[in-house]
Amino acid sequence: MQKKRFIYSLPFPRMRNFFLFFLFLMWNCARQGYPPGGPADTTAPRILQVFPSPDSTRVPRDTPLLFSFSEKIDHKSFEQAIFLTPSPVGFGEEEESRLQFDWRGKEVEVRFPDSLRANRTYVVTIGADLRDLRNNRMASSFSFAFSTGDSLDRGEIRGRVFADKPAGTLILAYILAEGKDPDPAQLYADYYTQLGETGEFALTNLAPGKYRVFVLADRDGDRLYKRGEDLIGVPARDVSITAQTRNTRPLQFRLALADTLLPALSSVSAASRQYVIWNFDEAVAPRDSLWAQHLHLLSSEGDSVQIILAAPHPFESGQIHTITSLLQEKIYRAWVDAIFDGTEKLLDSLRSVAELRGTSRPDTVRPRLLRFSMADSARNILLDTPFDLFFSEIMRPGTAQVPLSVRDSASVAVAGELRWRNPLQLRFQPRARWHGRARYTAQIHREALEDWSGNALFDTTGVITFWTINADTFAALSGKIIDRDSTATGGMQVFARQIGGKAEYRVALPESGDYLFREVLPGSYQISAFRDANRNQRYDYGAPVPFIPSERYMAWPDTIKIRSRWPNEDNNFELP
């Protein structure tokens, strides 16, 4: 007899829908963890335990390293963040000589390609680039030391790197051999560590010796410097460590990208029969500022062209405008000499010559006013600010009429000096400071302004109004810079930069000592200073090879808050 098959079904569609909904609720109630959209994991990973134990001695030379973490770690980030210094025997870049990693959940064993050296202190650093599976970075670098001998080396070098985002930057320390400069582009460092968010670092447990430290923003992670690609920081001095020396004066670093290209002359063109424009591929200048003596024109027949006047364009970097003796419709050879860029590199001798096609066309183009130093209706103008006019081409100074006049709100003329800073820039400097919280009007007299060829100024707005700042807004900022190096030369350059604002102040001191910024706008500031050893009024970053030390630099470690009418004093710091 055929067996009956029973198929259970809900008799009504409404009951069937209710049953499915009930199963859905039960399934979701049984699920564990945060629902979608819950709090994200932002906890930084931590190292819970290491082996060998920190400061261990007589560690066997075949001992591996063991690490235990608070959570699972991104393996690649760990392998890139671990530094063992000095390198073990046989360690290198070849595949068979690299560190070997054996992962087991939250733990890893690190084995060496060969045995450790005898009687040697080793420092293991896990850099701040270590990340968990959620891409959370470790809060700061972690280091510990152990020794295969009876004692630990105790030498130490500390310092700070001043950079916007220092985390992940490498610190490289080389033991100096007699008469040799270590090249970070070719040679791996003897000691490494990696910066965290604060920019401060410590190289500990160093063996006695003389050290040179570099800072490297290593873009490709190979731990070698690539000139023109990687930012590098050069020290102001080397550090000597003896068996009795544990702490030293801190090192301070600033990072810079090396300019690997020499400046070059790009082109030379004739705008008219007496107006020649020279274009360089970057901003350049002669050391003596006498442009006309370093620019040369020669016709194909050997006739020399006189450079009557020359000046850099105020806004076109690397562009030099010149007035010459009369050109003709022929080819000229143009060349320059003794021209340097901002890093003191001499113009490329292979790219210092260009061809100029002359013209006999007269100049009939009217000059234009490119910019005022103060915008119309500008407010809060500082009380010692001059008023500048910038022009599109070389102007002819010395006309009988005054090209600019300035009056206060009562229409009283403001006394001041009107002079050409260069043939493209006219400056009005009031004889006395502007009054605080006052309105002034500057009027341009177009009929008194013409270019070298006698063309009148193109029509432009003739009146500019501006308001000065209230003098009660200011405060004073002062302190002392101490330099205990009695052999140091050069003056001090001191800066106060407003954080999140545009205000910046600078004062030059002939020696270390008291500094004072008299009129400072309210806000938060950072103070910094450097010793201008070569007296060129700019900070020099130095060079790794051949070694040129950087100039000594220091920044006040804390933000300084300035309030109106409240002097902020005793901001003292010592130059390292």
Residue 47 · residue 142 · CB < 8 Å: yes
Looking at residue 573, what is its pLDDT? 87
In this predicted structure, what is the pLDDT of residue 13? 45
Domain boundaries, position 386: 369-471
Whether residues 245 and 270 fall in one domain = no
- Please write the tens of the pLDDT for every residue from 68-101: 999 999 999 999 889 888 876 444 454 444 789 9
| Pair of tokens at residue 8 | 């259970």
| Section 156-181 average pLDDT | 89
Token pair 């980030």: residue: 77
Using an 8 Å Cβ cutoff, are 452 and 323 in contact?
yes
Q: How far apart are CA 108 and CA 82, in angstroms?
A: 12
Under a CB-based contact definition with an 8 Å cutoff, are residues 508 and 535 in contact?
no
349 and 303 part of one domain: yes
CA atoms within 13 A on the CB side of 273: 10
| Same domain flag for 395 and 290 | no
Residue 293 in 3-state DSSP? Answer: helix
492, 504: one domain: yes
Residue length, the chain? 576
Q: How far apart are CA 195 and CA 163, in angstroms?
A: 11
Query: Do 343 and 396 fall into the same domain?
Result: no
Per-residue pLDDT reduced to its tens digit, 185-219: 999 998 988 888 889 999 989 988 999 999 999 98
Residues 380 and 398 in one domain: yes
Using CA atoms, how far apart are residues 539 and 67, in angstroms rounded to an integer? Answer: 43
CA triplet 329, 331, 334: central angle to 5 degrees? 125
- Both tokens of 432, joined, read 């006395």
Residues 59 and 204 in one domain: yes
How, if at all, do strands 491-498 and 404-408 pair?
A: unpaired
Domain CATH for 509: 2.60.40.10
Residue of 546, 406, 539, 418 lying closest to 468 (CA atoms): 406
Total count of domains within the chain: 4
- Is residue 197 one of the residues assigned to a domain? yes
CB 125 within 8 A of CB 156: no
| pLDDT over threshold 90, residue 38 | no
Rounded distance, CA 530 to CA 89, Å? 42
Same domain, 237 and 114: yes
Provide the token pair at 396.
């002819």
Tell me the per-residue pLDDT of 295-343, one tens digit each, with 9 for 90 and over.
999 998 889 999 999 999 999 999 999 999 999 999 999 999 999 998 8
* Phi, psi values for residue 322, rounded to 5°: -135, 150
34 vs 374, higher pLDDT: 374
Residue 22 included in any domain: no
Distance (Å, rounded) from C-alpha 343 to C-alpha 262?
Answer: 10
- Give me the CATH number covering residue 348: 2.60.40.1220
Q: Are 225 and 545 in contact (CB under 8 A)?
A: no
pLDDT given for residue 19 in this prediction? 46
Higher-pLDDT residue of 23 and 316 is: 316
**DSSP assigned state of 351:** G
* Sign of the four-CA dihedral 257, 261, 262, 267: negative
Tokens of 195: 């910066």
- Helices and strands (DSSP H and E) totals, the chain: 2, 42
State mean pLDDT over 279-302.
93
| Res. 23: pLDDT tops 60 | no
Do 505 and 541 sit in the same domain of this protein?
yes
Give a yes or no: residue 31 inside a domain: no
Contact 528, 508 (CB under 8 A): no
Predicted confidence at residue 400, as pLDDT, reads 55
Report the Cα 32 to chain-centroid distance in Å. 49
Position 161 scores a pLDDT of 95
pLDDT at 319: 97
Q: What are phi and psi of 473, to 5 degrees?
A: -70, -30
In this structure, are 96 and 158 located in the same domain? yes
Q: Is residue 451 part of a domain?
A: yes
- Which among 230, 257, 284 is the end of a domain? 257
Q: pLDDT band for position 399 (50/70/90)? A: low
As a whole number, the mean pLDDT across the chain is 88
- Please indicate, yes or no, if residue 226 is contained in any of the structural domains: yes
Point out the least confidently predicted range of 103-117, 389-403, 451-465, 534-548.
389-403
pLDDT of 39 reads 65
Q: Determine the residue type at 412.
A: V
- Radius of gyration, CA atoms only, the chain: 34
Peptide bond into 60 cis (omega under 30): no
**Model confidence at 112, in pLDDT bands (50, 70, 90)?**
confident
Query: What is the CATH classification number for the domain harbouring 438?
Result: 2.60.40.3780
- pTM of the model as a whole: 0.77
Is residue 98 one of the residues assigned to a domain?
yes
Query: Is residue 436 a part of any domain in this protein?
Result: yes
Indicate whether 504 and 544 sit together in one domain: yes
Does any domain span residue 227? yes
50 in helix, strand or coil? strand
Task: Examine the fold and report which residue of 471, 491, 508 is the final residue of a domain before the chain moves on.
Answer: 471
For residue 21, pLDDT over 80 is answered with no
Distance between CA 20 and CA 34 in Å, rounded?
A: 24
Asked which of 309, 331, 357 is the last residue of a domain, the reply is: 357
Q: Are residues 335 and 409 in the same domain?
A: no
SS3 label, residue 205: strand
Q: Is the pLDDT of residue 359 over 90?
A: yes
Structure tokens at 317: 């970097």
